């Protein structure tokens, strides 16, 4: 694990502990609720659509797995 990955992992852990609306993309300051609302309101169906909507996944890419997980959770409800 690189130092950058460790820092992002710790950053994400702190966000989860301190808030119920964690930041999913630290590069673009996109919160979980923002992604969930876009999936519901705009009918986004793929991680690529979400990433394009918020310009996510193009800097460090650390958020991509979380985006896919949120997409699956919201669409399975």
Task: Give the mean model confidence (pLDDT) for residues 30-42.
Answer: 94
Q: How many domains does the chain have?
A: 1
pTM of the model: 0.72
User: Which residue range(s) make up the domain with 42?
Assistant: 3-75
Q: What is the pLDDT of residue 77?
A: 78
For position 52, which CATH number holds?
Answer: 1.10.10.1100
Q: Burial-class residue 11 by CB neighbours within 10 Å (0-12, 13-18, 19+).
A: middle
Higher pLDDT, 57 or 25: 25
Residue 29 CA to residue 43 CA, distance in Å, equals 21
Q: What is the pLDDT of residue 15?
A: 66
Residue 68 CA to residue 46 CA, distance in Å, equals 8
Lowest mean pLDDT among 1-5, 34-38, 63-67: 1-5
Q: What is the pLDDT of residue 1?
A: 57
**Tokens matching residue 76:** 């399975």
Q: What is the pLDDT of residue 24?
A: 92
């Amino acid at each position: 694990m690189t130092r950058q990955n460790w820092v992002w992992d710790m950053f994400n852990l702190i966000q989860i502990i301190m808030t119920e609306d964690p930041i999913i993309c630290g590069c673009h300051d996109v919160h979980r609720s923002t992604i969930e609302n876009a999936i519901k309101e705009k009918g986004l169906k793929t991680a690529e659509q979400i990433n394009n909507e918020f310009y996510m996944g193009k800097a460090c890419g650390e958020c991509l797995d979380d985006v896919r997980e949120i997409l699956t959770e919201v669409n399975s409800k």
